[in-house]
Every structure is written in structure tokens, then in C-alpha cells.
Amino acid sequence: MNLHQLVYYSRNTVSGDSRAMLQELRQIVSVSQRNNARDGITGALIFDKTWFLQVLEGDAAAITRTYDRISKDSRHSTVTLMEKKAVGERRFADWSMGGTMRTPEMQEIFLSHGIGGTIDPTRLDGRTVVALAADLKAFEAERRAAAS
Ligand code: FAD
């Protein structure tokens, strides 16, 4: 496999109140998990009310196909490629697509990556998004372990 990692950001255009938005986002994550498991893609999706940040990992051609499909989705706009590069291994091997909605309790993690207030994706690079997503993944795992 020609393993690659792709990082992009986009503007969230999902409308409705918080509940409707969360429902739509759950639907996006669920369809992503189904398709990505089929296509050998893994990764992470971070979102707030304004932005999406996503990491896709897998075969270069499969990632390009998926990114092309995602780019046409009307639930976001300004889809902007931040980085696409060959990698030696996956960072999110056990996540066909993990979705993380930004909440106040994650503030410290965002701060440790230089994001204090609202996200400004034009000031971020691919490496920072991947590191942030990995820390959020660890945070989610700890939270799940504490709850069980
Ligand atoms: P279908 O089974 O045809 O549709 C899936 C569901 O999504 C249906 O309920 C349909 O109504 C709804 N839907 C599809 N397109 C739209 C649209 N434009 N507007 C509103 N509702 C719609 N897909 C992936 O496969 N992998 C990903 O990692 C991934 N990440 C995404 C990240 C973001 C931020 C967004 C916005 C979308 C993402 N998607 C991803 C979804 C992708 O854009 C396509 O909607 C999806 O891949 C279509 O797959 P399908 O043909 O199997 O879906």
C-alpha cells in the first residue's frame, strides 16, 4: 500500500440548533466509518460550530477518491487542503473515523497546541492538526475508561 496522510480544513455549514447540528454530524461520522472501513481509510474529524479539521490516512488513491467526494458535500464549504504526504505508519489505525466535537473540557488540549480562543485554521499546519487529533483521541480513550 502507498500509505499517505491527508489533512484539510473546511467551514461548517450545517444549519439548525445545536441538537440538529449534532445529529447531522453523527450521521456524517457514521457514514464515514462505514465507507472508510470499506476503503481501508482511518483518521479523525474535529469540529466546532464553525470549522472542520480532518485527517485521512490510507492508500493514496483511496484518500484522493474520498477527499474528492467529501469536497463536494454541501454540509461544508471552503474545503482547503493543508497537507498530503507519504507516511510510514498510521496515527489512527483503530479509528475508521473518530469524531470529536470541541467542548470546554478540552480547552487545555487545544491550548497546548496554541489554540486559545476560536480556531483559525489558516494559522494551523498539518502537523499541528494531527498532533491535536492524537491528543484528543487519547483524551476520549481516558474518558471512556473512567466511565466504564
Ligand atoms: P449515502 O449513503 O448516499 O448518504 C449518506 C447520508 O448522508 C444520507 O443520509 C444522505 O442523505 C446524507 N448526505 C450525503 N450527502 C449529503 C449532502 N451533500 N448534504 C446533506 N446530506 C447528505 N465520507 C466518507 O466516506 N469518509 C469520510 O471520512 C467523510 N468525512 C466527511 C467529513 C465532513 C466534514 C463531511 C461534511 C462529510 C464527510 N463525508 C465522509 C461524507 C461525504 O461527503 C459523503 O456524503 C459520503 O461519503 C457519501 O457516501 P455514500 O455515497 O455512501 O452516502
Task: State CA 19 to chain mean position distance.
Answer: 20
Query: What is the distance between the alpha carbons of residues 75 and 89, in angstroms, rounded to a whole number?
Result: 30
User: What was the pLDDT predicted at 17?
Assistant: 86
Cβ–ligand 1 distance for 103 under 6 Å, the answer no
User: What was the pLDDT predicted at 148?
Assistant: 83
Query: What is the distance between the alpha carbons of residues 29 and 37, in angstroms, rounded to a whole number?
Result: 12
For residue range 118-137, what is the model confidence (pLDDT) as tens digits?
999 999 999 999 999 999 99
Q: Say whether pLDDT at 28 is over 90.
A: yes
Cell 467551514, residue located: 11
Q: How many CA atoms lie within 13 A of 5 on its CB side?
A: 19
Q: How many CA atoms lie within 13 A of 45 on its CB side?
A: 25
- Report which DSSP code applies to 13: -
* pTM score: 0.93
**β-strands 98-101, 42-47: how paired?**
parallel
Cβ–ligand 1 distance for 73 under 6 Å, the answer yes
